[in-house]
Amino acid sequence: MSDPPHFAPLGDSALTIRFGRGIDPRLNARVTAAAYGIRELALPGVLDVVPAYDSLAVFFDPLALDPRLLEERLRGAIGQGNSAAPGVGTGRTHLVPVRYDGPDLEWVAAQVGLSRDEVIRRHAEPTYQVYFLGFVPGFGYLGPLDPSLVLPRRSEPRRRVPPGSVAIAGAQTGIYPLETPGGWHLLGRTDLVLFDAQREPPSLFAPGDHVHFVPVAS
């Protein structure tokens, strides 16, 4: 049984709703479902709904909406089970071709005591859940990672990670959409364009999508 959601103002133009605590696929599915449910209500004055791991934020026009009334409305909607069915959302599963020739593959294999091929197999085996997007446009936090591949992030982040890099850190994996600094371990690369502001929709991934990595020849 899950806790009742906890509401707190995030400044004067947003409300945070926390559904529990932690990084957990089922808890996150509840958050994602609630986010899509709230979006579908299309409440006038609501500008954006932003899910994270165990919480979401509803951004609104403070001149158009009283946050107390919004909270009441959202409590009702969430209580009525608009968010009951986990896994709703776009329902898409993305197949992501990956060349597993990343600069950290050997190091990761040595750290976890597996062969390179076994690291690749275990990384490409699961169907990952897009918990949410953050960090930079189009960056999805995907999980859960096979427990045998869990490693802390690099102590010194790289100053430049090339776009399309497929990486792991903690119990998560992700793909760098842009060239950015980054502290995750780079296993390989994909040619898919994760984010393009001129494309509709701009982001390949949306919260609640699923992702499957497909090893391809380097």
Partner 1 sequence: MITVIKAPPFATVQDLGRSGHRSVAVPPAGALDRRAIQIGNLLVGNETGAAAVEWAIGAGEIRFDCRTTVALTGASADVELAGRVALPHAALNVVPGDTLRVNRLVQGSWLYICVAGGIEVPPVLGSRSTYLPGSFGGVAGRTLRAGDRLPIGTPARPRLAGAGESERAGEITDWGTPHSAAPLAVLAGPDRRFLPDAEWARFLDTEFRVSNAVNRSGYRLHGPAFHPDAPADLPSVPTCAGAIQIPVDGNPIVLMPDGPTVGGYPIVAVIISTEIGRLAQRRPGEGVRFHQVELAAARDALRRDAAALERLARASS
Residues that bind partner 1 (CB under 8 A): 8-14, 16, 18, 21-23, 35, 47-57, 59, 62-63, 67, 132-139, 178, 180, 195, 197-198, 201-203, 205-207
Nearer to partner 1, 137 or 162 (CB): 137
For the chain, how big is the Rg over CA atoms in Å?
19
Beta carbon of residue 35, minimum distance to partner 1 (angstroms, whole number): 7
Beta carbon of residue 88, minimum distance to partner 1 (angstroms, whole number): 14
Q: Which residues contact 4 (CB under 8 A, 6 or more apart)?
A: none
Under 8 Å between Cβ of 204 and 157: no
- Helix residue ranges, H only, 104-172: 105-112, 116-124
Beta carbon of residue 166, minimum distance to partner 1 (angstroms, whole number): 17
Beta carbon of residue 102, minimum distance to partner 1 (angstroms, whole number): 22
Beta carbon of residue 135, minimum distance to partner 1 (angstroms, whole number): 6
Beta carbon of residue 23, minimum distance to partner 1 (angstroms, whole number): 5
Residue with tokens 């982001």: 203
Pick from 62, 56, 61, 87: nearest CA to 74:
56
Nearer to partner 1, 52 or 119 (CB): 52
Under 8 Å between Cβ of 28 and 128: no
Angle 105-112/116-124 helices, nearest 10 degrees? 90
Strand residue runs (E) in the chain = 6-9, 14-18, 46-51, 55-60, 93-99, 128-133, 140-143, 158-161, 165-169, 172-175, 180-182, 185-189, 210-216
Nearer to partner 1, 114 or 151 (CB): 151
Residue 124 tokens read as 């490409």
